[in-house]
Structure 1
Amino acid sequence: MRVQLFFAALCIFPATAFAGCASNMTTLVSCTAGNGDKALDVCSDGTHVLYRFGTSGQTPNLELIRSILDVDVTPWSGVGSSIWESVTLHNGAFSYEAFSSVARNPEAPAISGGVDVFEDGSPVASVQCDAGSVQTNIDALFEMREAAGLCYDHSTFAWGACK
């Protein structure tokens, strides 16, 4: 059963050169980094989240596919000068937290993003997206998780089964 699910996931998310998220997927965070040398794509088809990072135009160095139920999603708390959100995918001792932020300045709403990498909870790397390259819609993942039966409790800042 597990092999069948893995094969199905590979069919949904084929390993190809970076070209952004597929047309049947929602872009959660996508950008270039390092003056266009690197690319980050985090996408979802409503049931899975795909994380890809590596050299632009080539097969990703790292590709993770996780159920939307198995990723950590931190929605904006409603406080601060920026609207920010993040999605974290786990891979053994490593965690990859992709994030985006939109400055709440109506005259110049700057968008930023990137990915922070942790090993056993300790930061080991941080990649900031190139200015002007960020596409983001992490809040769509909030609705996808609710459709899958999870609810977010704003008082405890935690996800759980809907009641």
Structure 2
Amino acid sequence: MRLFTLGLCFVASTATACPDGSETLVSCALEGGRKYLQTCLVGDQATYSFGRTGRTPDLQLSRHVTDVFLYPWPAASRTIWESVTFENAGVSYRVYYAQERDPRTPEVSGGVYVERGEDVLAELTCDPGSVETAGYPLPLFDAKEAAGQIFDRNSYTWE
């Protein structure tokens, strides 16, 4: 369900730009531009890449859209935010972005939590001004629905 789309423009960076033919979900530079985080959507595949800028990714995942968890904004706060979680060998990579609804505060923040169960193994924050996102709602929501999943806003689960 699309409530509205933010009219935001982000500066693309070659380190975080998704490949041609795909859509950016959430991507950014990290650690002063030394590392990058990239999540993209191409057809029914969501991808996650993380690594040193200018080098082959340290971790690259590709999952069918039904195999990633999207937590859409609950529409109940001043901040619009969403997160996308990729699983790999018992470790989850929860990528997020956030933006104040006030148009006078256009900066978007983001990052990734690396978790095993309840334990946070790492928390990385995107460099200020580097976050690229498709904006609310992420196109992953429509891709999950096109794949037959339905989001239950009462239980915050995908069925």
TM-score normalized by the length of structure 2: 0.86
Residue 88 of structure 2 is aligned to residue 91 of structure 1: yes
Cα deviations across residues 52-96 of structure 1 (Å, max 9, x unaligned)? 001011101111111101001100000112100010000012000
Q: What's the offset of the Cα at 1:19? A: 5.5
Runs of 4+ aligned structure 1 residues displaced above 6 Å come to none
Residue 142 (structure 1) aligns with: 141
- 1:121-136 aligned at under 5 Å gives the runs 121-136=118-133
Q: Select 1:72's aligned residue among 69, 72, 80.
A: 69
Residue 159 (structure 1) aligns with: 158
Instruction: Indicate conservation of the 8 Å contact 2:16/2:28, yes or no.
Output: no
Q: Select 1:118's aligned residue among 111, 115, 120.
A: 115
Identical amino acids, percent of aligned pairs:
39
What SS class does the counterpart of residue 150 from structure 2 fall into? strand
Structure 2: unaligned runs, 5 residues or longer: 1-13
Closer, same or farther: CA 18–130 of 1 in aligned 2, 3 Å? closer
Paired amino acid for 2:61: L
Distance 1:46 1:155 in 2: 28
Q: What's the offset of the Cα at 1:122? A: 1.2
Higher Rg: 1
What SS class does the counterpart of residue 89 from structure 1 fall into? strand
Closer, same or farther: CA 79–123 of 1 in aligned 2, 3 Å? same
Normalized per residue, the structure richer in helix is 1
